[in-house]
Structure 1
Amino acid sequence: MTTLQRSGAIEVRALRIIQAKDYPLFVFMLRADQILEFADISRVSRDEAGKLIGYQRPQVKKHIHEIVQYLDSDLPIFPNPIIMALSSRVHFRSTRGGNRHPDDGVSDTGRLVVPLSEEGKPKPAWIVDGQQRALALSQARRRDFPTPIIAFIADTVNLQRDQFVRINNTKPLPRGLVTELLPEVDSPLPPRLAIRKAPSQLCDILHSDKNSPFHGLIKRTSTGGAKQSGAVVTDTGIVDMIQESLTSPSGALYPYRDIGRGETDFDGIIQALFIYWAAVRETFPDAWGKPPEKSRLMHGAGIRAMGRLMDRILGTVDPMRSDAPETVRKHLELLAPHCRWTSGVWEEIGHRWNEIENVSKHVHELSNYLIRVYQIARRSLV
């Protein structure tokens, strides 16, 4: 074994690779029974103030069981490393002559000494990628199974979270988890993720701001316990609604972006969203705040369809005016008699209220119906 347990520390033989100044990578090995003694798993949650902490997806029992079965088979091969963030308290001591290629100047071998924490205190490492594998290894029969580890030094959760999002960018992470993590990532993101960052930030405000009509109603990966029981709207539905309005030239939120300067008027967007969706809540009180199986207004299809109607209504109403809330309510009242959020059949569409699903065809049909009925009702008043 390459690990050596000493009083208050674990010492491992390691390869140090310099990819970026001040952020060396360490490649080493741990036994299966050492991994969870050595590293914590940081799961997504929120503190009492509502601030996001952690970054890992919840434990998946079926997946873990499948890995354990494989590890307990006759000839398991486990090449995928577990990626960890290490405390800056670690110390690397280069082995004399350990750098086989002195001219490259980027790698050398030596001993990595990792101080162990006292009982009850955080461990010296955090698992950034490989949560399920680590838990499976801890349950496998072979306690000394050698496991490859790749680690970097990062004391801050922000840096760990940044690496977690990037590492899992091509994996099927739950969209809700990515949605919730994106606002917490400070460094530049790939275009596919960057375009979702602003809508994710706005979704976070809609969920957490006590003045928001969506306060406490949005399902978040980090929300659990009693708080989760009142959450009825998926955050991905909210993000999709906002993103479509922000990125489409015909969207009500599009004018709040200064593309030339790369700036966005978040205060203006929040005011517009608060005014419109508060008016929706007041126009449809019997459908608001119910789970989607009891109200399609709270369903992903309803949120997206009403978002497209928002683009039409706020295209004619200035949210900055003092009478904007009342004006938006009057616009929505034109539509109210024709909506079937909790019972009945949607006229022209031909679907019962609970047959509407969050698929492109239904979202398109519902959106077109709401906009058409709204426009006809407006013309009849002229």
Structure 2
Amino acid sequence: MDKQELVVRALHTIQGHGLDVYAFFIRGGDIMKIADISRVERDERDLLKGFQRPEIQQHVKEIVEYLDQGNVLFPNSLILAMSPGVRFTASRGTRPSGDEGVGQTGTLTIPVFEAGSRVAWIVDGQQRSLALSRSTNQAFPVPVVAFVSDSLEVQREQFVLVNKAKPLPRRLIDELLPETRNILLPRDLRKRKVPSELCNWLNRNNKSPFYNLIKRPSDKKEDSTAVITDTSVVEMIRQSLSNPLGALAPYKPTDTEPGDIDAMCTILVTYWAVVRDVFPDAWGKDPRQSRLMHSAGILAMGVLMDRIYARLSGANESYASVRREVEKVAPYCRWTSGVWESIGLRWNDIESTSQDKKRLQDALVRAYTSEARK
């Protein structure tokens, strides 16, 4: 490598709990020399690593074509997370008259290491960084804002907050949310965090009927057994939490109480273990072979869960008593073959439309209500 460090003029300030923040310019071709892209994936211990989505090749190509025109305007700053391995030396001399004192000028020295061991990670601007590294205009000056923290939790938190208003895949945000600090998240993201935490737990705990069955963005295994899209499980949980009469609602967190995660896990494991056992031929199959594993089926059975637990005692309810309730709708269900008589649809005609989801939910609720009255 032709140089072991980059030296740039920078402005320094402090934010948060004593975190150093720098603003500076760097040649576009040097970005990928100091920063790695941390892709979202899970390691051999099933721990979540990274946070970035895959490269969007067409988007990168379009940026490269724009940059290669030569005299272009590209003022959008990249956001980097840097390890404490960077070094800042403040400029000497007196401050100018009238200086607000919110920033300090100086020199930032950034070590240059091999890929995978670099001193910085890209938090915002992945596609732009890749384009800059591939452009013929390598000397193009690019604005950068960098904060110093080697905490992956802080980096993920900033990634989610920065990308919240952008077209970032909802599934990626939902998988990252459980790995962030709740107190600093906006209210709407805090509401999404608990359902995603529960979805993670259901997928990764071997006591769960959903163990290894839920598809998450970090799932890269070719031999994966996952068949259920995480959005349907997250939405099923979210609806139960938001419904005042939902099975999980009594245990949800509030502004003053953390909520009872254990109780919610108990209800979810008990109920869905019953569903698995009552419909063994439909459980764990591809949604094309079983509509129980389809988003419409998961959401419909989630609505039924709320109706059943409205009649029962909650987290302390036994497997046997929940099974008795679920078995009441079993004769009406057509998950893998046949026709749902009450709605006139073949089992595989049910799709992910709001209309079909509502029809299926209504069919199960009507069947349960009818049987419960007997």
Partner of 1:47: 43
Give the stretch that moved more between structures: 190-199 or 89-98.
89-98
TM-score (structure 2 length as normaliser): 0.93
User: What is the deviation of 1:198?
Assistant: 1.0
Structure 1 residues 75 and 120: alpha-carbon distance in aligned structure 2, compared to 1, 3 A threshold: closer
Question: Percent of aligned positions with the same letter in both sequences?
Answer: 48
Partner of 2:151: 156
Q: 1:286 aligns with which of 281, 284, 308?
A: 281
Cα distance in 2 for residues equivalent to 1:372 and 1:108: 68
Partner of 1:245: 240
Letter paired with 2:73: I
Letter paired with 1:370: L
Cα distance in 2 for residues equivalent to 1:19 and 1:255: 38
Cα distance in 2 for residues equivalent to 1:103 and 1:168: 33
Q: 1:366 aligns with which of 351, 360, 367?
A: 360
Structure 1 residues 169 and 120: alpha-carbon distance in aligned structure 2, compared to 1, 3 A threshold: closer
Partner of 2:321: 327
Partner of 1:174: 169
Q: 2:305 aligns with which of 291, 310, 322?
A: 310
Unaligned segments of structure 2, at least 5 residues = none
Letter paired with 2:206: K
Structure 1 residues 183 and 258: alpha-carbon distance in aligned structure 2, compared to 1, 3 A threshold: closer
Instruction: Indicate if the aligned counterparts of 1:19 and 1:106 stay in contact, CA closer than 8 A.
Output: no
CA RMSD of aligned residues (A): 2.1
Instruction: Indicate if the aligned counterparts of 1:28 and 1:149 stay in contact, CA closer than 8 A.
Output: yes
1:320-367: CA deviation from partner (whole Å, max 9, x where unpaired): 557x21222222222122112222322232333223223332222211
Instruction: Indicate if the aligned counterparts of 1:296 and 1:342 stay in contact, CA closer than 8 A.
Output: yes
User: What is the deviation of 1:95?
Assistant: 2.2
Letter paired with 1:216: N
Partner of 1:205: 201
Q: Secondary structure at the match of 1:315?
A: helix
Q: Secondary structure at the match of 2:184?
A: coil
Cα distance in 2 for residues equivalent to 1:309 and 1:270: 17
Unaligned segments of structure 1, at least 5 residues = none
Q: Secondary structure at the match of 1:67?
A: helix
Partner of 2:130: 135
Q: 1:336 aligns with which of 313, 330, 354?
A: 330
1:185-237: CA deviation from partner (whole Å, max 9, x where unpaired): 1142101101111111111100100010000011111111235x311111111
Structure 1 residues 20 and 279: alpha-carbon distance in aligned structure 2, compared to 1, 3 A threshold: closer
Structure 1 residues 318 and 226: alpha-carbon distance in aligned structure 2, compared to 1, 3 A threshold: farther
Q: Secondary structure at the match of 2:340?
A: coil
Letter paired with 2:74: F
Cα distance in 2 for residues equivalent to 1:167 and 1:214: 32
Structure 1 residues 344 and 141: alpha-carbon distance in aligned structure 2, compared to 1, 3 A threshold: farther
Structure 1 residues 103 and 31: alpha-carbon distance in aligned structure 2, compared to 1, 3 A threshold: closer
Letter paired with 1:308: V
Instruction: Indicate if the aligned counterparts of 2:34 and 2:111 stay in contact, CA closer than 8 A.
Output: no
Matched, 1:89 2:85: yes
Matches within 5 A, 1:11-26: 11-20=7-16, 22-26=18-22
Partner of 1:122: 117
